[in-house]
Structures are given as C-alpha cells and as structure tokens.
C-alpha cells in the first residue's frame, strides 16, 4: 500500500553510480558484450560492468512483478535499477487523476526489492509548468510502497520549469529534478532532492569511451562534488547554487546520442570516480 509523500530528509550515504539506458541493443554485441555471450545473459553481464541501469522499456509497457523479480535475480548485490514510469501516466492531461495508475505501476516495480533505485517521471516537451496540477501530482508520489522506501526524480522538458517556483515546490516535496545535459532540452542543475539524477546526452561515435578524457574527468569531478554534498557552480542553474550540505547518492546515466558508446562511457566514468 502506498504512503502519501512528505518532505524528505536528506540522506548521507553518498554513493556514485554510473550506467546507461537499457541493456538490450544490437550494436552493443561485439562492442560492449563479448561475441560469444548469449542474449539472455546480457543483463547478467552488463550489471557487473556498471553499477546501475535505467530501465526505459517500462515507459511503453509495465511488466508484471515476476519480470521485475527475474531482473533483480540476475544482478549482483549492490546493483540498482532506476525505473522510468509509464507514458500513460506522465502523458495524462490531468496528472492529479493518476493516483490509481501510479499505484498499479509501483505494484510491479517493487518486485525489484533492494535493486530498486529512483523512479523516473519524464514529461514531454509540451508539458508546461502548471503549479496546481504539478503539486497535486507530486502529492501522489509515495515515500513507501509495498514495504520499500522510494525516491522520485522528475525530468522536465519545457522551459517554463526553469522557474524558482518549480524549484521551491520540488524541494518542499523532496523530489529530485533531473539534470539533463542535452542541446535539445532545458538543462539546469539546481538541486531539489536528497539525491542527484543526471542524464548525459552528448556521447560521440568517434570517441571510444563516448566522451573525450577531459570531459569524463570533468564529470567525475562533478559527481564527486555532488557526492560530498556540493552543488557545482560551473553547471547551469536557475537560482544560486546551494550551500554545501550532507552527502548525496548520485546516479549518472549516459542516454541517447551515440548510443553504441554509452556503456563504455559509463564504465569509464565509474572508474574515474573510484580512482578520485
């Protein structure tokens, strides 16, 4: 049973996890996956190379709890997934009326057990910031469901969300605003939740690791800063950066762009953060 959300208390665990979107992509075979790896073992392999994976397929179809349990069983201790919420929820005209659908979606997702990381709510570029409807929606997102603590991240894709009023609302509800490093979507790194969720969308096919070494070094520095409770001032912000606070969990995903390079980027960034 879901519990109503309340402002969250900052966590001080401060882990950095890096990964990519999904684990099934034909061009990864022979590039990321060994040539002789059978497809049914791709998740088992991928989850031992990176520390998190964003499940994108749930945006289009919500699997049953048994599938989530199977995915969890194929991954090692300490690994976590983020789960993208279904489009039939986030594309609703009135978000305030989606409570029952949210509950059904979470009924399945909790099958991941301790492998469940953040839940990602990604809105279309056409959705403007409506304070009343968005407030009602955030109030539907539970702190717990099925006995598991939940963390929620919201990705907004309309410039109207670059507003101090959105930041204040998200902070009050303890919801992270996704930092989307993309040339096509609003990109602002203002921290609104007790953890950081970043989606990096600038990998290049010509780079073996997706990004030049100097850029991976910079992202490793940002991730370490976030982890330590900082708010990097050289990233774009709507408002002034926050003062240093408690350590945070950090989730960095390489998404879209030169998708064939994203696993290598995730592995390379993970190693840089470990060595920092």
Half-sphere exposure of 75 (CA within 13 A, CB side): 24
Domain membership of residue 4 (yes or no) is no
Domain membership of residue 5 (yes or no) is no
End-to-end CA distance of the chain: 41
DSSP strand pairing (116-122 vs 80-84): parallel
pTM: 0.94
Angle at which helices 99-109 and 65-73 cross, to 10°: 40
Q: What pLDDT is stored for residue 114 in this prediction?
A: 98
The tokens for 11 are 């966590």
Q: pLDDT digit of tens for each residue in the chain (276 aa)?
A: 444 444 444 444 589 999 999 999 999 999 999 999 999 999 999 999 999 999 999 999 989 999 999 999 999 999 999 999 999 999 999 999 999 999 999 999 999 999 999 999 999 999 999 999 999 999 999 999 999 999 999 999 999 999 999 999 999 999 999 999 998 999 999 999 999 999 999 999 999 999 999 999 999 999 999 999 999 999 999 999 999 999 999 999 999 999 999 999 999 999 999 987
Q: Is the distance from CB of 250 to CB of 196 less than 8 angstroms?
A: yes
- What residue numbers bound the domain in which 119 lies? 16-275
Residues 6 or more apart whose CB falls under 8 angstroms from that of 233 comprise 241
Q: What pLDDT is stored for residue 276 in this prediction?
A: 73
Domain membership of residue 75 (yes or no) is yes
Rounded to whole angstroms, how far apart are CA atoms 29 and 37? 8
Q: Per this entry, what is the length of the chain? A: 276
Q: What pLDDT is stored for residue 84 in this prediction?
A: 98
Domain membership of residue 250 (yes or no) is yes
The tokens for 252 are 């960095």
Domain membership of residue 10 (yes or no) is no
Domain membership of residue 200 (yes or no) is yes
Q: What pLDDT is stored for residue 120 in this prediction?
A: 98
Q: Give CA angle at 63 (15, 152), nearest 5°.
A: 35
Domain membership of residue 6 (yes or no) is no
Q: Is the distance from CB of 14 to CB of 227 less than 8 angstroms?
A: yes
The tokens for 85 are 């919420």
Q: Which CATH number does the domain housing residue 81 bear?
A: 3.20.20.410
Domain membership of residue 11 (yes or no) is no
**Looking at the 3D structure of the chain, how many domains does it have?**
1
């Amino acid at each position: 049973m879901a519990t109503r959300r309340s402002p969250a208390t900052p966590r001080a665990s401060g882990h950095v996890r890096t990964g990519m979107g999904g684990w099934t992509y034909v061009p990864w075979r022979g590039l990321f996956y060994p040539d002789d790896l059978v497809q049914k073992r791709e998740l088992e392999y991928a989850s031992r190379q990176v520390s998190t994976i964003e499940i994108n397929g749930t945006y289009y179809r919500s699997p049953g709890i048994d599938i989530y349990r199977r995915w969890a069983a194929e991954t090692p201790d300490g690994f976590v997934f983020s789960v993208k919420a279904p489009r039939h929820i986030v594309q609703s005209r009135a978000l305030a009326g989606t409570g029952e659908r949210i509950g059904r979606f979470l009924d399945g997702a909790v099958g991941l057990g301790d492998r469940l990381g953040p839940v990602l709510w990604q809105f279309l570029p056409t959705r403007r910031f409506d304070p009343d409807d968005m407030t009602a929606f955030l109030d539907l997102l539970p702190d717990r469901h099925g006995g598991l603590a939940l963390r929620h991240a919201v990705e907004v894709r309309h410039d109207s969300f670059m507003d101090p009023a959105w930041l204040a609302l998200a902070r009050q509800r303890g919801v992270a605003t996704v930092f989307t490093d993309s040339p096509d979507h609003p990109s602002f790194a203002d921290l609104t939740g007790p953890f950081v969720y970043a989606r990096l969308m600038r990998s290049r096919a010509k780079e073996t690791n997706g990004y030049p070494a100097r850029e991976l070094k910079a992202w490793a520095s940002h991730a370490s800063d976030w982890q330590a409770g900082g708010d990097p001032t050289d990233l774009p912000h709507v408002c002034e950066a926050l003062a240093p606070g408690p350590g945070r969990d950090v989730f960095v995903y390489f998404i879209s762009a030169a998708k064939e390079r994203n696993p290598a980027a995730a592995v390379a960034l993970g190693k840089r953060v470990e060595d920092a």
